[in-house]
Amino acid sequence: MNWLKVGNIEVARVVESNGPFMSIYDFFPDATDEKLAPHRIWLEPNAICPKTNMLIMPIQSYVVKTDKFTILVDSCVGNHKTVKWYPAWHQKTDNSFLSNLSNHSIHPDEIDIVLCTHLHVDHSGWNTQLSNGRWVPTFKNARYILSKKECENAAHLSEKYGDPTYNENVLPIIEAGQALLVADDYQIDDSVWLEPTPGHTPGHCSIRLSHRDENAVITGDLIHSPVQCQFPHWNFKFDTDKELAAKTRLNFLKNYSDCDVKVLTSHFPQPSTGRIELNGDAFKFKYDK
């Protein structure tokens, strides 16, 4: 299995699904034929399907092994979840995420810490699984370290709009006594900490990794596609606070371009990891080989 190194920290991607997700014009309301035309040459076919204009996106987690902890960052969609806005995920029963995890020689009971960049369904699904009709923590020995702000927002969406994510993916963790609700800049230790990157959701956090002068950042959904390196102001139609999301994304691209920080994205086409480079008055993503 492919593990990348950040100092002594080992990081692997665990993929739940991969393929065409949504039309780029639907996903990014600012996208037009005219703006895209000069960039299709580097976007097709890996990031955009030339025939259908669908964005190609993996749904995936990162496993981070430090000398102290085995950490799961984000937990994909899961099985049996209620997902009305994206029917392909609704009540799915055949996601093989746990066997993909075991292909990396990791048993769910070995996960010490679960981190979620945010609590959307494709980042919190395997937090829980169904057992005898009840949602129970999938990772029974883990502390789930979650942004307090993000949990409050998920609870609000549940109360106000009936969004099932809180009840299915978050509340069972709190009830099991496995949740630790923290500030958005919470530091686990010198090697792993949260970095607030709000906008996509109010308590969205990226995850910073650092060891022996080597650095990496797991983006979460502050950026969804390499096309946003060229057009940082293009928001995903479901970004909660669009102005803040665009500002966070631009700051992120400025802060992490032309430097030695490995950028581990959640939804860029595989291999999903690389570095950000300045490119004229925009940016580009240079994928790892």
Distance CA 43, CA 225 (A): 10
CB nearer Zn ion, residue 150 or residue 221: 221
CB of 61 to Zn ion, least distance (A): 11
| Region from 27-35, 140-148, 220-228, 245-253 binding Zn ion, contact rule CB under 5 A | 220-228
In the complex, least distance from residue 111 CB atom to Zn ion, rounded to whole angstroms: 20
CB of 65 or CB of 184, closer to Zn ion: 184
Contact segment (CB under 5 A) with Zn ion among 117-125, 147-155, 190-198, 245-253 equals 117-125
For Zn ion, the closer CB: 76 or 145: 76
Token duo for residue 241: 């606070």
Considering only 12, 56, 77, 122, the residue that binds Zn ion (CB under 5 A) is 122
HEC string of the chain equals: CCCEEECCEEEEEEEEEEEEEEEHHHHCCCCCHHHHHHHHHHHCCCCECCCCCEEEEEEEEEEEECCCCEEEECCCCCCCCCCCCCHHHCCCCCCCHHHHHHHCCCCHHHCCEEECCCCCHHHHHHHEEEECCEEEECCCCCEEEEEHHHHHHHHHHHHHHCCCHHHHHHHHHHHCCCEEEECCCCECCCCEEEEECCCCCCCCEEEEEEECCEEEEECHHHCCCCHHHHCCCCCCCCCCCHHHHHHHHHHHHHHCECCCCEEECCCCCCCCEEEEEEECCEEEEEECC
Nearer to Zn ion, 195 or 221 (CB): 221
Q: Which is nearer to Zn ion, 66 or 78 (CB)?
A: 78
**Beta carbon of residue 280, minimum distance to Zn ion (angstroms, whole number):** 28
Q: Looking at beta carbons only, is 66 or 232 nearer to Zn ion?
A: 232
Which residues pair with residue 62 across a beta bridge? 13, 73
Query: What minimum distance in Å lies between the beta carbon of 177 and Zn ion?
Result: 27
176: CB partners within 8 A, 6+ apart:
136, 137
Q: Which stretch binds Zn ion (CB under 5 A): 48-56, 109-117, 219-227, 278-286?
A: 219-227
CB of 239 to Zn ion, least distance (A): 11
Cβ of residue 144: shortest distance to Zn ion, in angstroms?
18
CB of 220: closest distance to Zn ion in angstroms?
Answer: 7
Q: How far is the CB of 211 from Zn ion (least distance, A)?
A: 26
Interface with Zn ion by CB under 5 A: which range of 21-29, 46-54, 167-175, 218-226?
218-226
Question: Could you tell me how far CA 139 lies from the centroid of its own chain?
Answer: 18
* Near Zn ion by CB under 5 A: residue from 221, 239, 268, 272: 221
Pattern 168-207, binding to Zn ion, x per CB under 5 A? ----------------------------------------
Q: Which positions touch Zn ion (CB under 5 A)?
A: 122, 221
